[in-house]
Structure 1
Amino acid sequence: MDTKVSGVGVEAIEYSQESGTVRTQFDQEKILASMAVVATLADVMDTDPVELDPLHSTVDPDALDALVRAHDGTNGDSHISITHEGRAITVHSYGVITITPEHELAAEKYERGAGR
């Protein structure tokens, strides 16, 4: 683990100033996806993880953890996208979390024609 976000060790974290996107890589064999999501989101929002709305109010943390643990590298990527705390969050089964401000996700959908 090279760095920590809100006390949770992750392999890498990248910030994009232009889009406000944060991308975290974590070892899904050592860290539960739900913990990595909460830690990354708390870091993005510059707050203590206990100050966030509980993740279970948006998604079942056990199901999220199972999705990531189920990945064996041969089935391609499984991912889940949710909105929590005003942020669009995508968790990939290969251990990557992307967090984007919700308005960025809405603009992206509109540009692809989904919002028309």
Structure 2
Amino acid sequence: MNDVAFDVDANVFRAEYDSSRDQPSLAILAVVAVAANSDPTELSPLHSVIDTAALDDLLSETATDDRRNVRLSFSYEGFSVTACSAGTVEVSPIENA
């Protein structure tokens, strides 16, 4: 996975991963850990909020053509997480209203 970058104006952490090499679920964990300034092992299990096997299958490089442009969003550890089958992860803090 490439380095995690922070866009100050958008308040978003972004990273790219190689879906032929990296599991999307692990890329998500890595970006959330950076955003939370935490070790990935200190986060709650990702599978407690989403089926990680289905997530990896849906966003993998081997996905069929009709799933090539998938964009999946969910909440995890106080962040809004968006992962794309194109190999990007974006994480932003959920603002309290």
Q: TM-score range by the shorter chain?
A: 0.7 to 0.9
Do the aligned residues in 1 keep the contact of 2:73 with 2:83 (CA within 8 Å)? yes
State the alpha-carbon separation in 1 of the partners of residues 4 and 43 from structure 2: 20
Give the secondary-structure state (helix, strand or coil) at the position aligned to 1:59. coil
Which is greater in Rg? 1
Alignment TM-score, normalising by the size of structure 2: 0.86
Match of 1:47 in 2: 38
Match of 1:99 in 2: 91
Do the aligned residues in 2 keep the contact of 1:77 with 1:93 (CA within 8 Å)? yes
Q: Can you list the C-alpha shifts for 1:8-62, whole angstroms capped at 9, x where unaligned?
A: xx13532111332011111011010000000111111111111001101110110
Give the secondary-structure state (helix, strand or coil) at the position aligned to 1:98. strand
Which residues of structure 2 form unaligned runs of 5+? Answer: none
Number of aligned positions between the proteins: 95
1:57 corresponds to 2:48: yes
C-alpha displacement at 1:89, in angstroms?
A: 0.1
Do the aligned residues in 2 keep the contact of 1:22 with 1:100 (CA within 8 Å)? yes
Do the aligned residues in 2 keep the contact of 1:12 with 1:26 (CA within 8 Å)? no
Match of 1:30 in 2: 21
Alignment TM-score, normalising by the size of structure 1: 0.73
Q: Percent identity?
A: 28
Over the residues paired in the alignment, what is the CA RMSD in angstroms?
1.9
Paired amino acid for 2:11? G
Structure 1 segments, 4+ long, off by >6 Å, are: none
TM alignment of 1:4-15, pairs within 5 A: 10-15=1-6
Which residues of structure 1 form unaligned runs of 5+? Answer: 1-9, 107-116
Give the secondary-structure state (helix, strand or coil) at the position aligned to 1:103. coil
